[in-house]
Homo-oligomer: A and B are copies of this chain.
Amino acid sequence: MYTSTELSKLLRENACKVTPQRLAIYSILASTKAHPTAETIYKKLHHQYPTMSFATVYKTVEILTELGIIQKLNTGEEAFRYDADISRHAHVRCLGCGRVDDIFDLDTTALEEDASTKSQYTLQGCQIYFQGLCPECAKKNQQ
């Protein structure tokens, strides 16, 4: 997570201009664990920046992803989600309500070694996505 000062510095160092929209979009992502989509980001900022377009959201998340300070998640839904937590962690999506949660601290060392041996690939990354029912939806389903 970066402060707006740190983000401004990083942008300038990479020949990108600092704009209110860019700071606001990063701020949204840094302050939530909900893994918003472009649409969610757009809606959250619409009252504050009524003229802001989807193009700006998409261009900004593209830049932030290239700077390596956010990550783009493909959870098997229609739209991509974005996450300002760039640490290696897995995700789980609730088939009931659609929420996507983090799962931290899974030990994937053995898995990756095994995959590397069996596939003969030079591995560079790994995404792990679980599906299931969140505690709330599991409870509702029992009733």
Contact = CB atoms under 8 A, between A and B. Distances in A.
A128 B131 contact: no
A106 B118 contact: yes
The oligomer's copy count stands at 2
A98 interface: no
A93 B118 CA distance: 14
Contacts of A124: 95, 131-133
Contact of A107 (B106, B114, B130): B114
Contacts of A125: 130-132
A131 to B, nearest CB: 5
A50 interface: no
A20 interface: no
Interface residues of A, number: 37
A106 B115 contact: yes
Contacts of A115: 90, 92, 103, 106, 128, 130
Interface in A109-143: 110-112, 114-115, 118-135, 138
Contacts of A94: 121
A135 B120 contact: yes
A127 to B, nearest CB: 5
- Top 7 A-B pairs ranked by shortest CB distance? A123-B132, A121-B132, A122-B133, A125-B131, A124-B132, A122-B138, A74-B76
